Amino acid sequence: MESKTPPSDASPQEASIDPVDRVINYHIRTKHHFNRYARSLGFLDWVNQPDPFRRYGGAQLFSLPLLKPDEDPQSPAYDVIYEHRSAPCQPVSLSTLSRFFEFALALSAWKKAGESEWPLRMNPSSGNLHPTEGYVVLPELVGLDLKPGLYHYAPKEHGLEWRAEFPAGPVARLLSRFPVGAFLFGLTSIHWREAWKYGERAFRYCNHDVGHAIGTARIAAATLSWKMTLLDGVDQNTVALLLGTNRADDFADVEAEHPDCLAVIWPSGEVRGYEEVRGEGLGVRGYIKEIPLFLDSEIVQELAGGKWHGKANRLSGEHGVHWDIIDEVADASWKTQAQTLIVSLPNSQPQNTPYPSPLTPQGFSAGSVSSSHALHDSRTTSNAGAIIRQRRSAVAFDGKTTISSATFFRMMQRVLPCADRPQLERPMPWDVWPYDPAIHLLIFVHRVDGLVPGLYFLVRDTKKLAFLQQSMNPELTWTIAPGCPDGLPLYRLLEGDARKLAVQVSCHQDIAGDSAFSFGMLAEFEGTLRERGVWWYPRMFWESGLLGQVLYLEAEAAGVRATGIGCFFDDPVHEVVGIKNVTLQSLYHFTIGGPVEDGRLQTLPPYGERDK
């Protein structure tokens, strides 16, 4: 199959320079500008639109039961999933795995317009293209009628494809340092699914989607009172080996999968603090105080030598253009070294407690925004499962709906990771994330009752306040927002009507100005890459996707709706607050408001006859 390589302005020396500089070059090259967008095909090649569903021909499919909302395991109240002491813990079984995958990666509905139908999923995706694939490594567990091995989740069928047979003994040894009932969860990306539409910028969007999927998985686990943490001490070669993405024969002449991450999930149980550990053939052999965030690579190699099943399906007939720069940045940001990271299990897990003129950029006008629409401040439902199922990405906002300052502040509190706490004592879902935050919010407030319209900033790690202030225009006013709850580091930078500015920097999309508020996620960029490692580039996007997933559900819980915005003019966003280098970079935009529904679209159940 012949493919064309797009023209490039990259230096011939790029391949030999420092990996951090290669990643920064990719990031700069894939920025959108007022006078040009990042490289893409420029049109949609509908004939070669990728199949949204990966399947492995020859692999046995185990159907998961389709559970009705009132069947066990039932979902707790939405607020309960954010508490450490929450609903009773569920054991790992076919029913609980089904509920987990339903809330994490399953279909949420089909949309129909005329003769066209397309699926929606629980996990959001740029352009509804869904590059993310999910896997589980299951041990031999009492009450789980599945053999040990690696399984690929098939969302269209809501089932698990048995990719590899893993002997029970080595799997038990691999998981012996984790709590009883633990299993592994993995994510991969098919870059072509995004590159088909978005070209060179696709690597960014694939990693946004990984972050959203980490969020949906962590929240799905919370509905069952399961715990989850990323195993980010694992090197990427080990991830590839365990998930089988390195198996050339299984992906011959089809779109490759990029191994992204692994996580461990376990039932929290009734015991707080010391967790039981099950050894191979030994039953309960003791208690542990900490768990590793890495795996034994020798055991992974042993497992990878087992029996594998299935060949990956081809997603597009022809590709036309191969975007070499995506392969280059994926290679440059590949995590080559394992780390012996350890996380402590808390002796007790407290409940998540709530947190009791300057230069005027062009396009930022003085004045306020009047409200002419009823306040949305009541929840449509208090059930976590219902909120997860009803989540959609808004396609338009009404330009009228306001939210209360109390609702706005609550949303801001939800995205604070409480970085001063040990990891597993942080609020869900931030207990999944083994790092201090590197993402902060630049917020365009349009219609929040009790707040003057203008530009605000949420500092998600107060230790970074001085750094952030020094990285921006020194004439910005850093004033705590009026009425702000104690401990919420939300600052007002500028007053004025920012609707036109928000639209302008978000690729002229009205959704950024017609909402109640919108924001850009600013990452601590170059310093993070040089201090933590070049492999942190994808993780910046993961963190932003995780953050966005929290706000997707918060919007639904508040009776409004949200949507992610991947298209924005990078440097004009930075100019709004005077960022002049790559110390900070905007990675993702987001917007929340009163949705306008398209009455021409029909909504169908996700699994048709199986739903009945």
pLDDT of res. 4: 39
Tell me whether strands 454-458 and 439-445 are parallel, antiparallel or unpaired: antiparallel
pLDDT of res. 612: 52
DSSP strands (E only) in 428-476: 439-445, 448-449, 454-458
pLDDT of res. 116: 87
| pLDDT greater than 70 at residue 270 | no
Average pLDDT, the chain: 89
Task: For residue range 311-348, list pLDDT tens digits in order.
Answer: 999 999 988 788 999 999 999 999 999 998 889 887 64
- Cα 43 to Cα 35: distance, rounded to the nearest angstrom: 18
Q: How far is CA 355 from CA 86, 186, 214, 488, in A?
A: 19, 33, 25, 7
- State the DSSP string of 266-334: EE--S--SSEEEEETTTEEEEEESEEESS--HHHHHHHHTSEE--EEPP--S--SB--HHHHHHHHHT-
| pLDDT greater than 50 at residue 11 | no
Greater model confidence, 507 or 143: 507
Residues 519 and 560 sit within 8 Å (Cβ to Cβ)? no
Residues 122 and 392 sit within 8 Å (Cβ to Cβ)? no
Residue 589's SS3 state is strand
Helix, strand, coil percentages (3-state) for the chain, rounded to 5, are: 30, 25, 45
Half-sphere exposure at residue 610, Cβ-oriented, CA atoms within 13 angstroms: 13
| pLDDT greater than 80 at residue 377 | no
Residue 316, Cβ density class (10 Å: 0-12 exposed, 13-18 middle, ≥19 buried)? middle
Distance of alpha carbon 382 from the chain centroid: 23
pLDDT of res. 83: 81
Distance of alpha carbon 194 from the chain centroid: 15
DSSP category for residue 84: S
Tell me whether strands 448-449 and 403-404 are parallel, antiparallel or unpaired: parallel
The two tokens of residue 477 are 């006013």
Q: Percent of the chain scored above 90 by pLDDT?
A: 78
The reply to whether the predicted model has a pTM over 0.85 is: yes
What angle (nearest 5°) sits at the alpha carbon of residue 116, between those of residues 111 and 121? 35
Q: What is the mean pLDDT of residues 440-468?
A: 97
- Cα 484 to Cα 486: distance, rounded to the nearest angstrom: 6
- Cα 173 to Cα 296: distance, rounded to the nearest angstrom: 9
DSSP category for residue 298: H
DSSP category for residue 497: B
pLDDT of res. 594: 97
pLDDT of res. 347: 65
Q: Is the dihedral of CA 34, 493, 512, 528 positive or negative?
A: positive
């185990």: which residue's tokens? 62
Residue 530's SS3 state is helix
- Cα 548 to Cα 414: distance, rounded to the nearest angstrom: 11
Residue 229, Cβ density class (10 Å: 0-12 exposed, 13-18 middle, ≥19 buried)? buried
pLDDT of res. 283: 38
| pLDDT greater than 50 at residue 67 | yes
Please report which helix (H) or strand (E) contains residue 187, including its range: strand 183-189
Least confident of 120-129, 461-470, 603-612: 603-612
H helical segments located in 106-179: 168-174
Residue 511, Cβ density class (10 Å: 0-12 exposed, 13-18 middle, ≥19 buried)? buried
pLDDT of res. 331: 97
| pLDDT greater than 50 at residue 167 | yes
The two tokens of residue 360 are 């005027």
Residue 570's SS3 state is helix
Q: Percent of the chain scored above 70 by pLDDT?
A: 87
Please report which helix (H) or strand (E) contains residue 230, including its range: strand 226-230
Q: What is the mean pLDDT of residues 129-142?
A: 94
The dihedral over CA atoms of 78, 80, 83, 89, expressed in degrees to the nearest 10, equals -120
Task: For residue range 532-571, list pLDDT tens digits in order.
Answer: 999 999 999 999 999 999 999 999 999 999 999 999 999 9
Task: Report residue 533: phi and psi, to 5°.
Answer: 130, 150
Distance of alpha carbon 62 from the chain centroid: 27
Tell me whether strands 311-312 and 56-57 are parallel, antiparallel or unpaired: antiparallel
Nearest-CA neighbor of 84 among 407, 418, 429, 342? 429
| pLDDT greater than 90 at residue 114 | no
Q: What is the mean pLDDT of residues 224-235?
A: 96
- Cα 378 to Cα 494: distance, rounded to the nearest angstrom: 29
Residues 258 and 239 sit within 8 Å (Cβ to Cβ)? no
The two tokens of residue 176 are 């012996």
| pLDDT greater than 80 at residue 139 | yes
Please report which helix (H) or strand (E) contains residue 5, including its range: none
- Cα 113 to Cα 147: distance, rounded to the nearest angstrom: 42
Peptide linkage before 429 cis (omega within 30 of 0): yes
